[in-house]
Structure 1
C-alpha cells in the first residue's frame, strides 16, 4: 500500500517521521478517519472542519481545504488501485526541541493513510459495559487526537472480536460512548444519545445522524443518562465513519431489536442513499426535499 507524507506518495514501509516530532513526543496531533464510496469521501467537509478546529486548539498552524485533500486522495486511490477505502488523514505538530513548546507549530507533518475496507463487516454488535471509565478530555472538549490509551484499555477488555463493542461510562456513572463509536437508543419512539457534556467525542457520523433526525422530523434528546436508561431501550445502535450505522442486538444478557429496529432500518436506508454524494451534513435537507 502507498501513503502520502508531506507532498510525497511513498510505500507504507518507507514512510518516516522525525523522532523529534511533537506528535510523537507529546501527543500533539489530530486525525480523521472516513470512507470513500466509489472514490467519494463521505462528509469530507465536516471531517475537515473538525480537524481544522482541533489544529487551532493544538496551536498547529495549518488549515486543510477540500481541493487539496481531494488531490491527495485521487493520487492515493490511483496508486493503490482502489475506490472504496478506509482513510486516515493525520496531522502531527512537527519537529521541535525537547521540552514543552508554547509557540505555534509552523511545519506540521501531514500523512494520509489508506487501506482496503474489511472484507467482513459485522451487521449487528454485541456490547459490553466496560470497567474502564471514560477519562475526561484534557482540554475543554474531546479531540480526535493522538491520546488513545483510554480507548486501548477499553479494547483490551473486550478483545479483538469484530462483533463486540465496549461501552464507556464516565466517572460520574453516565453512559458516554463506545470505544470507537457513539451510541444511540430508542424508547417509546424517542431517540436518546449522551450529551457531549459526558466527555464523548462529537463524531462526524453522530452529527450526521442528528441532522438526519431533524430532516426526517424524528424526535431525539441529548442528555445525561444512567445505565438503566440504556438497558431498558427498545432498540440500540452505534455510529462511526467506517462502520456507519450498526444495530446492537445484545448488551450483556439484555436483547434488543438489532437490525429489525424500525428507526435503525430507516436511518440505514437514508445513509446508504447519501454516502456516495454528500460533502457535508448541511446538504441534507436540500437533498431530501429534492429527492423525496
Structure 2
C-alpha cells in the first residue's frame, strides 16, 4: 500500500505529496525538521520533539503554521493512517515558496510535511558487536555561524563528514568542533565511560541537544551512574573504558574503535549494554 503523507493540512498519497520547486526548503535548506520514533504504535517522547522543533523554528524566524497541539495530532493521525507499529517519523517544516533569492519576506505558505515509515539505521550485528569510527576532517558548524542546536534542513556539514566516514569504510564519523574538541558524530551524540562515570560533550561544544541523549542521561542517573557534561578530546575517547552513541534513529549503539585504536576491550562494555537494555525498556513503556 502506498504511504499516506501529511502535507500542509491533509493526508495525501505519497505520489501526490509535492511541494513547489521554488520552496526555500529545497532551494536553500531553509526549514527545520525532527526525526521521531514510534514504538508499539505510540509516538516516543513526542512532547520533547515538538518542543525542539518549535525552538529550532523560532531560532531561524520561521513561523510554523500550526499550533503545537494540532501538529501533534497530525503526527499521530499520520502514524495511524499508515498502520505503523514500530518505525520512524520525519516531521519537516519548510519556509515555503519564494523567489530565486534569499529574502524571506518574499516567501509564503510554509509547508508542513509528515512522513511515517519504517527505518533500519545500522545492521543488527552493529548493535551486537559495536561500531568503528574515524575522525572526520570536516568540523562541526561554528556556533557563531549556524548554531548546531538548530535542527535545520541544511545538513551538508554532516553529510560531508559522513562521506569521509563511508570513504574509510565506516558507517559513522566523529566530528570535532572549531576548538579541536569532540562534538558529536554526523547523526548521533557521543558518550564515553571512564571509571564508571558517563562523560559527554556539553551543549556549548557545538552539538545538537539530542532527545535520546537527554533520555539516556536521565536513565543513567536513575540507575546510579554519575553523569558529567564536559569538554572531551580524542585522547579521552582513545583511553575510555567504553563508548557509545545515542540518536533517535540509532537508539543506543556501542563504539569499539576510533581511528584504528580499540576502545576498552574492543567490545561493547557492561554499562553500555545496561543502558541499552534500560532504553529498550523505556521504549516499551512509551516514555518516562
Query: TM-score of the superposition, structure 1-length normalised?
Result: 0.86
Q: Which residue of 2 aligns with 1:149?
A: 156
Specify every segment of 5 or more residues in structure 1 that has no aligned partner in the other structure, as ranges.
285-292
Structure 2 distance, partners of 1:87, 1:111, is 10
The 1:258–1:17 alpha-carbon spacing in structure 2 relative to 1, beyond 3 Å, is farther
Please give the per-residue CA displacement for 1:104-161, whole angstroms capped at 9, x wherever unaligned.
9773210011221229433121111112222214345531101111111111112289
Structure 2 distance, partners of 1:28, 1:228, is 36
> In the alignment, does 2:250 pair up with 1:250?
no
Counting only pairs closer than 5 Å after superposition, residues 1-292 of structure 1 correspond to structure 2 as 1-62=3-64, 67-101=69-103, 107-118=109-120, 120-121=123-124, 122-123=126-127, 124-137=130-143, 138-159=145-166, 164-256=171-263, 257=265, 260-278=268-286, 284=288
Specify every segment of 5 or more residues in structure 2 that has no aligned partner in the other structure, as ranges.
none
Structure 2 distance, partners of 1:87, 1:162, is 28
SS at match of 1:164: coil
Shift of 1:204: 0.9
| Alignment RMSD (CA, Å) | 2.5
Tell me if structure 1 keeps the 8 A contact 2:98–2:108.
no
Segments ≥4 residues shifted beyond 4 Å: 63-67, 102-106, 160-163, 257-260
Instruction: Say how many residue pairs are matched.
Output: 280
